[in-house]
Amino acid sequence: MSATVHYERRGKLALIQLDRPDTSNAIDPPTLQALGAAYHRADKHDAIVAVVLHAAGPDFSVGLDPKSFLPTLQNRTFSTDGPGQINPFGTTTRLSKPLVIAVQGNVGAMAHELMLAADIRIAASDARFSQSEPSRGTTPAAGGGIRMPLEVGWANAMRWILTGETWDAEEALRLGLVQEVVAPGNQLPRAIALADKIAANPPLALRETLKLGRRAWEGHAHQVYADLLPALYQLLATEDFAERLTALREGRTPVYTGR
């Protein structure tokens, strides 16, 4: 399917794997496009009842690959939709089948937003999470700043998003961001076992339950999803974002002015 995204059918399951372990599975534009194509393939295949997302290597994903993504974002050509694709973040089009995710190691920013779009989440005990875009002069543009407060409450979400700090698997379990924490290496088998149990149920009932539940849970959020990318583009044009890039090049601490 792609050099960095692999698709495997296993009975009633589609297993989708991120495979850029040499970059800690950083997500570049081709990888995101391939992920959207894999979701579409699973969604349109009637024999597939549930989907499992996982990743190769010690890290699930550090998130967006800035070197490859920045030109796309600055040119405002970023897209998660198109023919033969489903938005992996579910902020526009969305996978209609149950999605179980298995994560380990670093789960950062955009990767955390992939996790938030999943219906059930299994974490290895070595998982470390972050949604720290504001500390880098941007904003979670794939729904993290909306879904995380819905999941864990406003102040619990802001405590981590606004500080830019990371949290561990036990904190993620306490907050309800993940449903189980298992020993490293067991996250994928456990996710597959749960997906198999889900896939034994009537497919139409599963899809209708997801559709109705999602409408109730985040229906009003869809009015905000359309503003995510415009807000990001506005921030990318600020002096503060330019200062962050300059400070990174010069190896110093940024000095922000609010402009």
**pLDDT value of position 226:** 87
| Mean pLDDT estimate for the chain | 94
Tell me the per-residue pLDDT of 81-99, one tens digit each, with 9 for 90 and over. Answer: 778 999 999 999 999 999 9
pTM of the model: 0.93
Whether residue 113 contacts residue 92, with contact meaning beta carbons closer than 8 Å, is answered with: no
pLDDT at 1 over 70: no
Cα torsion angle, 132, 137, 142, 148, sign: positive
Tokens of 16: 């989708």
Mean pLDDT of 158-187: 98
Strand intervals (E) in 131-204 = 167-168, 180-182
Tell me the per-residue pLDDT of 33-53, one tens digit each, with 9 for 90 and over. Answer: 999 999 999 999 999 999 999
Q: Report the range of poorest mean pLDDT among 10-24, 67-81, 102-116, 218-232.
A: 67-81
**CA neighbor of 207 nearest in space, from 123, 55, 94:** 94
**pLDDT value of position 71:** 79
Strand intervals (E) in the chain = 5-10, 13-18, 50-55, 99-103, 106-108, 120-124, 128-130, 167-168, 180-182
Count the Cβ atoms, other than its own, within 10 Å of residue 68: 16
Helix axes 228-236, 66-74, angle to 10 degrees: 100
**Which residues are paired to 180 by β-bridges?**
122
Binned at pLDDT 50, 70 and 90, residue 31 comes out as very high
Rounded to a whole number of angstroms, the distance between the first and last alpha carbons of the chain is 43
**pLDDT value of position 142:** 94
